[in-house]
Every structure is written in structure tokens, then in C-alpha cells.
Amino acid sequence: MKNSFGTSVTVTLFGESHGPEIGAVVDGLAPGIIVDEDFIRHQLSLRRPHGAISTPRVENDPFRIVSGVFEGKTTGAPICILIPNENVQSGDYARGLVRPGHADYTAECKYHGFQDPRGGGHFSGRLTAPLVAAGAIAILALRRHDVYLGTHIHDLAGVRDRSFGNLQSDLEMLDDLEFPVLEELVAEQMKEKILSAAQDGDSVGGVLETAVLGMPAGVGEPWFGSVEGELSAALFGIPAVKGVEFGEGFGFAELRGSEANDEMKVENGKVVHLTNHNGGINGGITNGMPLLFRTVIRPTPTIHKEQRSFDSETMENLILSAGGRHDPAIVHRARVVVDSVTALVLCDLLALRYGTDY
């Protein structure tokens, strides 16, 4: 049973959606990294539900750092972050009722009925909260090396945001947005789509686009430790992620080699790429251009429409209509989770390339 990722900088998740606490242990971070608890709170606020487009389950996430930090800086020992679950309604979940689109059936197959079924248990998106808290430390560590990252909603239910332009200004703008889009008008159109789905008892998904500015060339491995491979493996650990593509991604299928290649030249003694179709990566290794990738978030599986399923205890077929409190879309809340996981993976890759004190 694997609940950890990373090689030099590792992250382990623990807890269940309706258990007393959830948390993360981060090991391998260098000593002396600033841990800004106000920034952690800010990042957690970006994940928190807001208004009618999100679930009514709102957790304040009063996290505690119980090890690995002294006088506001990392000690080099494992960092343990704990977050209590305070707003739970466990009565909404009955053992044996298998919800379509969820991990209820696969959890039953793996854990033989001993899993916690309340709110999705260990499979719940609730566990992304400690990921965000841990990722906040990693994001500030990267900024010390002038590495900046951010994510916006690229498209949602047929409504598309503009692509990244001036990366520095775009990333700065996204830092404080609860609903992360680059065009204000698009935000209102997307929210209307979410509200419309909610009124129908349904849900919508979308695509997130992430950019990383400032990664040095030469990070990553050519085969099984590639930048794409390491990022994808961690990103697919986020609930609802069903696809990841880098640069042009599946768009490469429509291009010729002459269009897909990124031409280069030397300018003032430095290598310059004229385009960035490959998303800042060649042969699994960073080439000095911004990392660009997109993540597909599926529609929230819990919906208020009747669906056919079964009871795993009685093996009887039944019709389910979801109870509980759920999001008609989680794309906007997932962006800070994608940022956090990306930051943690990049810290790991940089430590592997330059040493653990980097």
C-alpha cells in the first residue's frame, strides 16, 4: 500500500475524510528553509469552498506543524503537518452503497471491506488539504531559487480562458485569485456553467494549465526518472485527474516535425529556444524554457441524479441518488493542489540534481 511519492524529498499522506485528523509528512527538505504559516493559510484558503459553485462543507483547516520546524525554519528533520476534520456528517454515508465514479468498488476489492467508507475515506479529495500545506513550504523554497509557478483554468464546460502570455505578470496575478482565470469575463461565464450543472443535479469538469518559470536546464533523467514521468505520477495521485499532457501534448498528432521542433540559436553566449512546443522538456530533461503542462479534471462523480449501482454487502442492484455535500465542479479548487504537487516534485528533482542542501 503506497501513500508516498518522491525520492530525495518525499511526501506521505495519511488520514481519512471523516477521521479525527488528516496530515502529511515531508522528509528530505534542506534545513533553513523559511516556513511562513501565513502563506500556508493563504494557500489553504485557495483550496477552500467558496459560494454556490462549491460544496457547503467548509473546513477552516487550523493546521499544526508538530515536527521538523524550529523558530520558523526547517530543521532538516521530517515535517509532520496535522489538520483536524471538524465539519463532518458521517450519517450521509452507508457501508455497502457503491457510488458510480468513485473508488468505492475498487476500495472494496483491495481492502476487503475494512476501508473507511465515510466521505470516501482515504480516497477523498479532503486529503489534498495537507498536500497544499506541504506544497506551500515547497513553493517558497523554489522562490528562493527564482522558480515560480502557477495554474489557471484553461477551459471548463466549453468555455476557454486565454493561454499564458507574459508569464511573470500572469503568475503574479494568479497568486491571489480564488477563481483562477486570466480573463475576468471568462470567470463569470465559467461560473454560470457550474451553477447550471448544479441546478440540474449534475457536475462539470475542465482542464488546468500550469506554467513553471525559472527551472534550470539539465534537471531530470532520460528514461524512468523523466520530468514528465515524475510530475505525471504525482499529479495522477490527485483525485479526479484523468489526463496530463506537456507542451502541445496530443496536439503533436496534428503537426509535422518542422512545426513541432523548437528551433534554437545562441544569443549573447546563451542558448535561446525560439518556440516552446515541447513544454520546456526534451528527452525527459529540462531545457531552460518554461515548463508548460495541462491537467484534465473529470466532473465531480457525486451528483444528485439517479444512477444504477449495487450494494456490495447484499449484492443487490439498486438506484442511487447521492446525499451529502458535494461540489458541482472542483476544477477551481484543484488548481492549488496541482501547484502544490508540482512544487514538491520539482523540489525532489532539484535535490536529486544539485544535492540535498540545494
Where residue 274 sits, what CATH number does that domain have?
Answer: 3.60.150.10
More confident residue, 353 or 326: 353
What's the rounded mean pLDDT across residues 332-355? 98
> 49-52 contacts: CB < 8 A, separation 24 or more?
49/327, 49/333, 50/178, 50/179, 52/195, 52/198
Phi-psi region of 204 (alpha: psi -120 to 50; beta: other; left: phi over 0): beta
Amino acid 86 reads: E
For the chain, strand residue ranges (E) read 4-5, 10-15, 21-27, 64-67, 69-70, 73-74, 79-84, 148-156, 159-160, 206-213, 241-246, 264-267, 270-273, 281-282, 285-286, 291-297, 307-311, 316-320
Find the domain containing 25 and state its range. 4-354
Cα dist from 326 to 43, 198, 202, whole Å: 21, 10, 10
Model confidence at 94: pLDDT above 80:
no
Q: pLDDT by residue (tens digit) across 149-198? A: 999 999 999 999 999 999 999 999 999 899 999 999 999 999 999 999 99
Q: Confidence band (pLDDT; 50, 70, 90) for 53?
A: confident
DSSP 32: T
pLDDT grade for 91, boundaries at 50, 70 and 90: low
b/e map 239-270, b = 16+ CB within 10 Å: bbbeebbbbbeeebeeeeeeebebeeeeeeee
Q: What is the pTM of this model?
A: 0.94
Report the number of distinct structural domains present in the chain: 1
Residue-wise pLDDT tens digits, 102-151? 888 888 889 888 888 887 878 888 999 999 999 999 999 999 999 999 99
Q: How far is CA 200 from the centre of its chain?
A: 27
Residue 328 confidence (pLDDT): 92
54 has pLDDT over 80? no
Q: What is the pLDDT of residue 121?
A: 78
